[in-house]
Structure formats: C-alpha cells, structure tokens
Amino acid sequence: MEKSFEDALKELEAIVKELESGTVELDGAIDKYTEAMKLAKYCSEKLKNASDKVSKILNENKELVDFEVEE
C-alpha cells in the first residue's frame, strides 16, 4: 500500500529530529539517514507528480492539455 505524502513527510521529520538529537549510534544513524533519503525522494516525486497534474487542465474535448496563463 502506498503511503500518503503527509505520512511520508511526518516519518521524514521524525527521523531528522532523531538524527539531530545526537542520541543515535553510528550504525543506526546510517540506517536512519538511508531511510530519510528514500522518504525525501518519495516526497519529491509526489510533489512533482502533483505539480504536473496541476499544470494541466481539461480542454473542451476532455483531453488534458498544458495550462498556460495568458498575460
């Protein structure tokens, strides 16, 4: 099951807080850092996908097209 962006971000924040506390042993810190990097990548991909979706709109034929602001 895929986790939500919010859940992944909460996990990432908890890991960062734990690492910043300085109480994690080196081996544990390496594992936590690796997990944090995976979560950061996951969050980044979710944000990019959301941004891509927001930048498209449905045209009159119900087709997705790039959204452009006319100035």
Phi then psi for residue 62, to 5 deg, are 65, 30
Buried b or exposed e, range 21-39, using 16+ CB within 10 angstroms: eeebeeeeeeebeeebeeb
Higher pLDDT, residue 67 or 2: 2
Q: Quick: pLDDT tens for 15-39.
A: 999 999 999 999 999 999 999 999 9
Average pLDDT, the chain: 87
Residue type, 71: E
